[in-house]
Amino acid sequence: MSQALDMARLCAAQLKLMAFDVDGVLTDGTLWFTSAGDEMKGFSSVDGHGLKMLREGGVDLAIITGRRSRAVELRAENLGIARLHQGVEDKRAVLLELAARLGIAPAQCGYMGDDVVDLPILRACGFAATVPQGEPLVKRHVQYVATRPAGGGAVREVCEFILAAQGKLDALQARYLA
C-alpha cells in the first residue's frame, strides 16, 4: 500500500462534507445543446447511487459548479442534494462559507474537480479528488485520482473510497447481500 494512498485514506476518514463539480466530474464534460438552446447533460445512475450511499453514511453533500443548468437542478433534487451552488466564480469561497455555516473545519471538507479553475478549492479542502481525464496540473494537487471515467463511475469510486476510509462501506452494502 502506497504512502500517498494511506494519506488519502486519512484525509477521507475526516470528511463531514463532500462537494462535487459537474462538467467533467458528474458528467463526461460534453456540453449538449438543443436547436432551441436548451442544455442537456447525461448523469450516471451508478454515480447517483454512490452519492446516496455517501449521504446515508453521514457525509453531507454539495454541488459547486461554475455553470448554471436546469438539468443540474433536477439531478440535485433527484439525489436529495440541497446544497447546490451554480454559476460560482469563486468555488473556494463557497466551500469555506459552507464549512463555517456547518461548523466544520476546511480539513473536514472534500471536493472533486477536474480543471485548473478547481485548483483553489481543491487546495483549500482536506480531501481532493479528480477523474482520470483531469488536467495534469490538477492531478498533482489531489490526494486521489479515480480510475473510472468522469460521468461513468468516477464519483461512485470516490464515494466508496470515502466510505471505506470511514469504516462504513461494508455496512451500507450489506443490505444488498441479505
pLDDT by position in tens, the chain (length 178): 589 899 999 999 999 999 999 999 999 999 999 999 888 999 999 999 999 999 999 999 999 999 999 999 999 999 999 999 999 999 999 999 999 999 999 999 999 999 999 999 999 999 999 999 999 999 999 999 999 999 999 999 999 999 999 999 999 999 999 8
* pLDDT at residue number 137: 98
Q: What is the CA radius of gyration of the chain?
A: 15
Q: HSE on the CB side for 126, CA within 13 Å?
A: 18
Which of 59, 66, 67, 27 lies closest to 44 in space, CA to CA? 27
* pLDDT at residue number 1: 55
Q: Are 41 and 78 in contact (CB under 8 A)?
A: no
E runs forming strands in 21-162: 32-33, 39-40, 60-64, 83-85, 109-112, 127-130, 144-145
* pLDDT at residue number 2: 86
Can you list the domains of the chain with their CATH numbers?
3-173 (3.40.50.1000)
Which of 114, 115, 81, 113 lies closest to 98 in space, CA to CA? 81
